């Protein structure tokens, strides 16, 4: 069954970007026209390396009309002229981030919490992320979300919902059919042992 949705992918970067081939690969992925957001998430890289990577990625995002977000760091988002920032529950307070980012996009991780989701919208978030829905190769699962949680939150808020956690070609349709707005994907693309990144993303139709 085909899902009639365009650019429903919220792509998260690998933890490390080590060579120039990454940027060519990213272009190939964006050429599929399936990606709406790209988040630079590099917890262990130096600030200088993040800035270098961000500037190169921004050019590619602009070329393909993909929104470019920075994980955790509103100051870096402003510095590199990104489209916004994604914040976890333990990151900077959204009100402080809003003062830095003005009208740029701010997304908030809400785990599996209805309360967090409602609070995020009331506080002015542009979207929320909920999960984890499946086992993930990217990080350890602390919070498990269900379709029931997704449907409940969907009824209570009006901002887009990004779903996250172990999403791949075998399980993604279930989430879209239950009204997830965007699928946050990382491991399936970057750590796929059978398919190259641009081939893996083409499987999501």
Residue 95 lies in a domain: yes
Task: Return the DSSP state at 147.
Answer: H
pLDDT tier at 1 (50, 70, 90 boundaries)? very low
Residue 103 lies in a domain: yes
pLDDT tier at 137 (50, 70, 90 boundaries)? low
Residue 2 lies in a domain: no
Full domain range(s) for residue 186: 9-202
Residue 24 lies in a domain: yes
Higher pLDDT, 140 or 40: 40
| Mean pLDDT within 32-55 | 95
Block residue for tokens 């919070």 = 143
- pLDDT for 201 equals 96
Tens digit of each residue's pLDDT (9 = 90 or more) over 154-191: 999 999 999 999 999 999 999 999 999 999 999 999 99
With a pLDDT cut of 90, the percent of the chain lying above it is 87
pLDDT tier at 140 (50, 70, 90 boundaries)? low
| Mean pLDDT within 51-67 | 97
Angle at the Cα of 178 from the Cα atoms of 181 and 171, rounded to 5 degrees: 90
Residue 54 lies in a domain: yes
Strands (E), 14-77: 35-40, 67-71
Give the CATH number of the domain where residue 162 resides. Answer: 3.20.20.70
Residue 1 lies in a domain: no
Residue 98 lies in a domain: yes
pLDDT tier at 141 (50, 70, 90 boundaries)? low
- pLDDT for 2 equals 43
pLDDT tier at 139 (50, 70, 90 boundaries)? low
* DSSP code per residue over 181-204: SEEEESHHHHS-SSS-HHHHHHT-
Q: State the burial class of residue 6 (Cβ atoms within 10 Å of its Cβ: 0-12, 13-18, 19+).
A: exposed
Split into its structural domains, the chain has a count of 1
Instruction: Tell whether the model's pLDDT for residue 126 goes beyond 50.
Output: yes
Residues 176 and 183: beta-carbon distance below 8 Å: yes
Tens digit of each residue's pLDDT (9 = 90 or more) over 2-34: 445 678 999 999 999 988 899 999 999 999 999
């Amino acid at each position: 069954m085909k899902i009639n949705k365009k650019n429903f992918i919220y792509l998260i970067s690998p933890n490390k970007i080590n060579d120039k081939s990454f940027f060519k690969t990213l272009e190939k992925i964006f050429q599929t026209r399936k990606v709406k957001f790209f988040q630079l998430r590099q917890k262990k890289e130096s600030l200088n390396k993040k800035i270098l990577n961000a500037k190169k990625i921004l050019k590619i995002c602009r070329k393909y009309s993909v929104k470019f977000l920075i994980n955790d760091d509103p100051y870096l988002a402003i510095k590199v002229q990104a489209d916004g920032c994604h914040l976890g529950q333990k990151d900077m307070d959204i009100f402080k981030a809003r003062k830095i980012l003005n009208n740029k996009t701010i997304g908030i991780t809400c785990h599996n919490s209805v309360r967090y989701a409602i609070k995020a919208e009331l506080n002015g978030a542009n979207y929320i992320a909920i999960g984890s829905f499946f086992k993930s190769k990217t990080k350890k699962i602390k919070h498990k979300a269900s379709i029931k949680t997704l449907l409940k939150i969907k009824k209570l808020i009006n901002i887009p919902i990004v779903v996250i956690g172990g999403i791949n070609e075998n399980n993604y349709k279930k989430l879209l059919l239950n009204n997830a707005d965007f699928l946050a994907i990382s491991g399936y693309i970057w750590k796929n042992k059978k398919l190259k990144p641009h081939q893996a993303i083409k499987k999501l139709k």
